[in-house]
Amino acid sequence: GENVEQHPSTLSVQEGDSAVIKCTYSDSASNYFPWYKQELGKRPQLIIDIRSNVGEKKDQRIAVTLNKTAKHFSLHITETQPEDSAVYFCAASRGGTASKLTFGTGTRLQVTL
């Protein structure tokens, strides 16, 4: 089955700096890669996703890049703000009728003033 590794497990940045979280996956058939933000005790919220037919996607301060050859994808947050502090999870799926998500281990992002 799919295995998703995520690094780093914790990340502390100063407000205004950029944050990068990286994930690798094992299943070459995976073609859907969402990123979720989860605050303590809350549900995961989809912040951005990327399909395998593109290499990069951007939404305001958030961007995701995908390298299918190397089987890794990354989340980039620019101009970080204190409200970006949360746990971020990457995930991978084959899409289609299965659409089972395999999650990474999570990154705890702390944005300090």
Span from 17-25, 27-35, 65-73, 75-83 in contact with other proteins (CB under 8 A): 27-35
Q: Which helix (H) or strand (E) holds 34?
A: strand 32-38
Name the residue type at position 7.
Answer: H
37 versus 77: smaller Cβ distance to other proteins: 37
Q: How far is the CB of 16 from other proteins (least distance, A)?
A: 27
Cβ-contact 88, 4 below 8 angstroms = no
Cβ-contact 74, 21 below 8 angstroms = yes
For position 32 contacting other proteins by CB under 8 A, the verdict is yes
Number of residues located near other proteins, criterion CB under 8 A: 24
For position 12 contacting other proteins by CB under 8 A, the verdict is no
- Applying the rule CB under 8 A, the residues between 41 and 80 that interact with other proteins are 41-46, 49, 51
Closest CA to 48 of 77, 24, 6, 70: 77
Residues linked to residue 4 through DSSP beta bridges, in sequence order:
25
CA distance 73 to 67: 6
For position 104 contacting other proteins by CB under 8 A, the verdict is yes
Site residues (CB under 8 A) for other proteins? 31-32, 34, 36, 41-46, 49, 51, 89, 93, 95-96, 99-106
